[in-house]
Amino acid sequence: MSSWQKAGISFNKYLAIAARTVQRSLKNDLKVAAEKRYISDAKVQKLEKGNVVSTTELGSNNVFPARFQKTDVPHEAIKEKKPRSLRKRIFGVAEEEQTEAGFSEVRRLLKLARRDIKLFSVAIALLFISAFIVMSLPKVTGEILDSTKRYSNLEEARFYGLTLYELLAVVGGMLCVYTAATFGRIIILRVLGEKLVARLRSNIMKNVLRQDMEFYDKNKVGDLISRLSSDAYVVSRSVTQNMSDGIKHSIVGGTSIGMMFHISPTLSMILLAFGPPLLFASYVYGMKIKAISRMLQKATGSLTKVAEEQLNNIKTIQSFTAETKELHRYDNQIRNVFKVSYRDAMTNASFFVSTGILGHATFLLTLGLGTSLVFNGSMTVGDLAAYMMYTEYCGNATFGVATFYTELFKGAGAASRLFEVQDQVPTIDQVVGPKINGSRGHIEFRNVTFAYPTRPDNKVFDNLSFEIKPGSNVCIVGPSGKGKSTIALLLLRFYTPNSGQILIDGVDITKYSVHSLRQLLGYVQQEPVLIPGTLAENITYGLPRNVKVTADMVEWAAVKANCDFVYHFPDRFNTDIGPKGSQLSGGQKQKIAIARSLIKNPPILILDEATSALDSKSENAINLTITNLMRDRSLTTISIAHRLSTIEKCDEVLVLGHDGRLAEEGKFKDLYPDHNSMLYKLLNESQKKKKEDEHEDREEEDVHEVQEDEEPKPELDDDEVAADEVTRDAFMKRRAVLNEEHERSEHKTLT
């Protein structure tokens, strides 16, 4: 056969395989798409045969629901842009945001420090001491300057009845006290801040861990981590260090104003006119900065969420070479953070520049008016110097109070996000209700209707009813996405049915304590999650803390779960498995997860595709263990499976239908032989698909063989026979021998 004929055969085979693959995949996809687009079956058949010339034949506008029909009304007419309110124009925040910007969060923040009020009072006392010392320095300086006119020489000069050197010694001692008081205040407030953030994070995490699955369905893990880390730190700093600075600046500012009125009431009344504009600007600034702070915390939370998702899915990202795409997504979040940070910087700069200009104007006015008062004899040079120093103190205190106000409302913005989590009340209380001391393993679903809270319109179950007898081995089968795993989640009370009852031993499980209920259940997921630590720590993870764990208990559970791989590790059960069990294979993880459930000795065991990653030998060993446990301890087992080998070994099979109800139930030997049964159709469909895939693989191998025949034969050494005179296997073996000889010769050459 010539080379062009062989090429034609290979090309035709490629076309045949591609045509069959596309036809099978497109038919199902086309039907699903047609249902979504409301296209009739007749038109679908017409489209499959290729008789549709254009998309206009698929249907007119009345085929689609009203919400999908095209309208001539412009988008702007549908949703008119509302004009910004006066509050929005002034404060830069929406009306609902302005309502949130009240002082409720601030009051709640202050309540957080009530437990440490004694220690905080000590810090405030030290603050008063340091502030008193600082405020006395301008008056002392003014007295020294005025004494230069009253006394002719330094030996005769007296300052408050003291000589200059005695006065300097007293002031030096006061400054030492000031240093010690400042040091103690900083240490106390730092300790208070760490205690507060630790208590706050612990309370938030305690409430988060008690939430039900509805909470985790609505909140991303990365956002919760951001609240526990950065938000908690901002709140603690706002309550401790910032509160101390605010009190210090308030004391200094108030004392400075009092001393200014004492020295020159006339000059002070003139400067007082600058107060109202500054207070109004501070109020507007505080409202803006609170809203911006909340936006910044949200943007940071979104950034953390994206980073957490990407790092958790790094294998998938790299396998699809999606690094550039994910980096672009992460960069978009960084841009959002930058935009909000830029807005925050501009708001800060605008406020402090405007107040700085006001402060400089105040300084110049004070200097000019004060100088004129000195020449008029209304003030002394010492009084003017002291007044100028008090003016500077008052200006710095004003800026300090403004900064305190800013940081306080930043803390309020971060605290509102924390309080959202702390105030979240779980729909399923995990500690309320009597405890269950034991169970026979009798389970009943009675007219259960359920839809996930995030998808309330999509019912998973609709009046589902079935019964599982004590000590039985039941397998739940059904199409993908029809609620097999949801049964396990409802039994574990991760969710509550919308209606109906789930009973264990004739009692509704909602009447039991959730903690005690879950102690009765052993649950093994298809993709088990292992904690960082050793094998022994993972196996004993589900045992209560008051249970004394022995090495025999761990080894018994490992043997029952066929964890023979443990004995190949040097450290045996003390082997560290890495984060998320990264040092173990998928099958080894499943074995450890099964051992983790068996060591609890639960009366009810739920296996959700728990042996999907195991070979047939390991699966048979675990099934034998479960059979023995069922016989010895009346263990009720619920298996969720697709594999025929698992289903056929169960006592009873429950088949879920497409309508959210039980399609059929019975023994495997009674259901599977019936070609009209849903069980037969499900298993036969999967087996048929498997055979088709194997057939396609064989055809592809034939094509590759034809291509290999077309390729030129590899050249061998002179001592070798031609490749077409030996079989392919002999050629491969001989090539391996040649490679080994070649490597040995190269090794000799190098040595």
DSSP string, 687-748: HHHHHHHHHHHHHHHHHHHHHHHHSPPPP--TTSPPGGGS-HHHHHHHHHHHHHHHHHHHHH
The model's pTM is 0.59
Instruction: Give the pLDDT confidence score for residue 732 in this predicted structure.
Output: 47
pLDDT of 103: 64
Sheet holding 499-504, edge to edge: 459-468, 443-451, 499-504, 507-508
Encoded amino acid at 270, one letter: I
State the pLDDT at residue 578: 81
Which residues on adjacent β-strands are paired with residue 636? 604
Per-residue confidence (pLDDT) for residue 690, from 0 to 100:
52
Residue 176's pLDDT is 92
Using an 8 Å Cβ cutoff, are 521 and 604 in contact?
A: yes
Q: What is the pLDDT of residue 177?
A: 92
Q: Radius of gyration of the chain from Cα atoms?
A: 39
- The dihedrals phi and psi of 467, each to the nearest 5 degrees, come to -135, 135
Tokens of 55: 């998309």
CA dihedral 139, 144, 147, 148 (to 10 degrees): -140
Long-range Cβ contacts of 361-368 (<8 Å, 24+ apart): 361/274, 362/271, 362/274, 362/391, 362/395, 363/388, 363/391, 363/392, 363/395, 365/270, 365/271, 366/267, 366/271, 366/391
How much is the pLDDT for 738?
Answer: 45
Q: Are strands 507-508 and 499-504 parallel, antiparallel or unpaired?
A: antiparallel
Report the pLDDT value the prediction gives residue 215, as an integer from 0 to 100: 79
Q: Return the pLDDT at 140.
A: 81
Query: For residue 180, what pLDDT is reported?
Result: 92
Cβ pair 444, 467 in contact under 8 A? yes
For the chain, list residues with pLDDT below 70.
1-103, 151-152, 154, 157, 275, 283, 286, 290, 315, 430-431, 433, 610-616, 618, 625, 628-633, 686-751
CA 319 vs. chain centroid, Å, equals 23
Q: Is 636 helix (H, G, I), strand (E, B) or coil?
A: strand
pLDDT at position 701 is 52
Percentage helix, strand, coil for the chain under 3-state DSSP, each rounded to 5: 65, 10, 25
